[in-house]
Structure 1
Amino acid sequence: MSLNGYTFANPEYLYLLLLLIPMAVWYIFRHKKQNASIRVSSLGAFKQPYNRVKEWARHSLPVLRLITVVAVILVIARPQSTNNWEKQTTEGIDIVMALDVSSSMLARDLRPDRLDAAKDVATQFINGRPNDRIGLTIFSGQAFTQCPLTTDHATLLNLFKDVKSGMIEDGTAIGLGLATSINRLRESNADSKVIILLTDGVNNRGEIDPVTAAELANTFGIRVYTIGVGSRGTAPYPVQTPFGTQYKQMEVEIDEATLQEMAQMTDGKYFRATSNSALKQIYDQIDQMEKTRIETKSFAKKQEEYIWFAIIAAIALLTEAVLRATIFRTMP
């Protein structure tokens, strides 16, 4: 519940304000029923003349009492400043990570497998770049955006954990994965726009050729870093058999020539990652890139505002007590 720019953590206590109605009615009724204790025909015998202002000022006492009650109720209801979106300017670059999730990414030449190794290193990279806007695209036979560009890295990491092979149709659509990533960056105003594309195979699906997609990236000023993941020679691939999943040594096929061409065309760099540590090289390279100022939105926390109402209650109560003991003191 909100009131004049404030929200209340305990709005149910505001119903206590209804008590003001019977309190006001009771005072008015009591005042009209009051009769003088001593009646005289004239006030001439008294030294001081009748003070009508003081008579009316006496009504300030119940008013102060009502103010105290209102302020105390508002304190109990816990008023808070209204939440607002705040704009902040930070230093960073826009990065989209395009990750291959085809079944071959389950090969175990990297530990525990290629996909989990890529996710672990990428997670460290994200944690080390708090000011960057980072997004995630996954691809195999098809491609889609798992997370758009964001500075909310906690959400991004949670989505990253859910990535697994088999989420979409199997295959390796490198060109489609790159094109989907470009679509997330093409309207970015950042001076530095980067795509980190990681794959372990050869483009065999999708309607978009990888080199054509790289040309499109270059048109939008996007730098593409490509990573070929996999050992040289053979690697243990998971194969489904009547006896369950078994690992068989199969030839590692990575289209390095195409990946190198894609990187060179966009002023990027190609890496061959035969181990987990090799993946770190690309992140070291990105850390040295030029950074640009980007504007982000953050949600401001609620601020407790009860202190002002507590001060008002204390002042009103103290003022009433002083007036009742001095100016408006009554004889017993």
Structure 2
Amino acid sequence: MSTDSLGMGAYWREQLEALSLFGLSFGQPTVLLLLGLLPLWLWWHHRRDRAQPTIAFSRLPVLADGPQPSLHARRWLPRLRALAMGGLIVAIAQPRSGARAERVNSDGIDIALTIDISSSMLAEDFQPQNRMEVAREKLKRFVMGRKTDRVGLVAFSGEALTQVPLTTDYPVVLAAIDNLQVGQLEDGTAIGTAIATAANRLRNSPGRSRVMVLLTDGENNRGAIDPRTAAQAAGAFGIRIYTIGVGSEGMAPVPVGRGLFGLRYENRPVKIDEPLLTEIAATTGGKYFRAKDAAALQAIYEQIDRLERSAVEAKAFIRYTEQFRWPLLFGVVALVGELWLRARRGMLP
């Protein structure tokens, strides 16, 4: 088959898909081409009836006592059959209403949420919750505010691991956030490894805007990758990093081991390498935030949401309402009418 014929086939396919009848569109529009055969079938039926030979009766009373099919009935029988077949064809073509696709301008970005799950995230300076619980809650609220953004999740402590690759399946991301637990990875704070892992997920993403949100409550003390070098590499890929330092100022109750009644806490100074986090953000064109309580963390996510908006073209879909029942019912009524007329007139199919 030639390229030209393929192009023409695609053209007619598009024309049929665009067909609208009484506000309806069709899922299988090519089936409607069968409707063009119905006039041919009626013409053939008419010619067949005219060509049928007459039957000779030796006794006229026998014919008079039998059923008397009228000329009117004989004309209507093929018409009713054609109407029945037409209704069936239209039903098979899947008529539906209310559905259409519209191109709309929407905001869409690719976001890698990079979260510290080291043991210090159990510090209880965000009373009545610890840092981990507050971080999960605010993260989930941030994700639930997404509509067209692709979101991924990276957890890190002494090592980093992708929990969810970039996706718009927000329930999966929310479930992964719920499952974040301190102790899932080797303890420590490997900020450079975390940045490199998240950047690797973002560097080939198709989004016009690539964003990394890095949340930590400590200082870089693990990993073979320098955080500044990782930030420079991320910036080269067009990734903007927003860093968040989580923790109050001064002293905070931090878990130092286990006792008879669970974790044992001691008040220790809060150590966040703010100069490093500020430099990482500045290197990539992002911004550093300090979250000293739950309300501040929520406000930070809202501010990041306002800062990162990128217009993209997307499709908005309206759900179809299937309408095949009506032509199917029409066809059944026409078929029942034909059978009733044949039975009444004593005419075999």
Match 1:186 to one of 180, 203, 206: 203
Per the TM alignment, residue 291 of structure 1 is displaced from its structure 2 partner at its CA by 2.7
Give matches, 1:285-300, under 5 Å: 285-289=303-307, 291-294=309-312
Per the TM alignment, residue 109 of structure 1 is displaced from its structure 2 partner at its CA by 0.6
Q: 1:110 to 1:266 in 2, by over 3 A?
A: same
TM-score normalised over the length of structure 2: 0.67
Q: 1:295 to 1:166 in 2, by over 3 A?
A: farther
Determine the structure 2 residue equivalent to 1:208: 225
For 2:215 and 2:274, locate their aligned partners in 1 and report how far apart those are by CA, in whole Å. 12
Structure 1 unaligned spans of 5+: 7-37
Aligned amino acid, residue 319 of structure 1: E
Give matches, 1:286-325, under 5 Å: 286-289=304-307, 291-294=309-312, 304=322, 305-325=324-344
Give matches, 1:164-243, under 5 Å: 164-243=181-260
TM-score normalised over the length of structure 1: 0.70
CA RMSD of aligned residues (A): 4.1
Determine the structure 1 residue equivalent to 2:115: 99
Q: Percent identity?
A: 41
Determine the structure 2 residue equivalent to 1:254: 272
Per the TM alignment, residue 97 of structure 1 is displaced from its structure 2 partner at its CA by 0.8
Per the TM alignment, residue 289 of structure 1 is displaced from its structure 2 partner at its CA by 2.7
Check whether the contact 2:77–2:341 (CA below 8 A) recurs between aligned residues: no
SS in 1 for 2:256: strand
Structure 2 unaligned spans of 5+: 1-26, 29-55
Q: 1:273 to 1:59 in 2, by over 3 A?
A: closer
SS in 2 for 1:258: helix
For 1:313 and 1:173, locate their aligned partners in 2 and report how far apart those are by CA, in whole Å. 71
Check whether the contact 1:88–1:297 (CA below 8 A) recurs between aligned residues: yes
For 1:267 and 1:329, locate their aligned partners in 2 and report how far apart those are by CA, in whole Å. 88
Q: 1:188 to 1:155 in 2, by over 3 A?
A: same
Check whether the contact 2:121–2:182 (CA below 8 A) recurs between aligned residues: yes
Check whether the contact 1:190–1:293 (CA below 8 A) recurs between aligned residues: no
Runs of 4+ residues deviating >3 angstroms: 56-61, 86-90, 293-308, 322-325
Determine the structure 2 residue equivalent to 1:21: none
For 1:295 and 1:163, locate their aligned partners in 2 and report how far apart those are by CA, in whole Å. 33
Per the TM alignment, residue 315 of structure 1 is displaced from its structure 2 partner at its CA by 2.1
Q: 1:254 to 1:80 in 2, by over 3 A?
A: farther
Which shows bigger deviation, 136-145 or 296-305? 296-305
Q: 1:242 to 1:259 in 2, by over 3 A?
A: same
Identify, as 1 or 2, the structure richer in helix: 2
Determine the structure 2 residue equivalent to 1:271: 289
Check whether the contact 1:151–1:296 (CA below 8 A) recurs between aligned residues: no
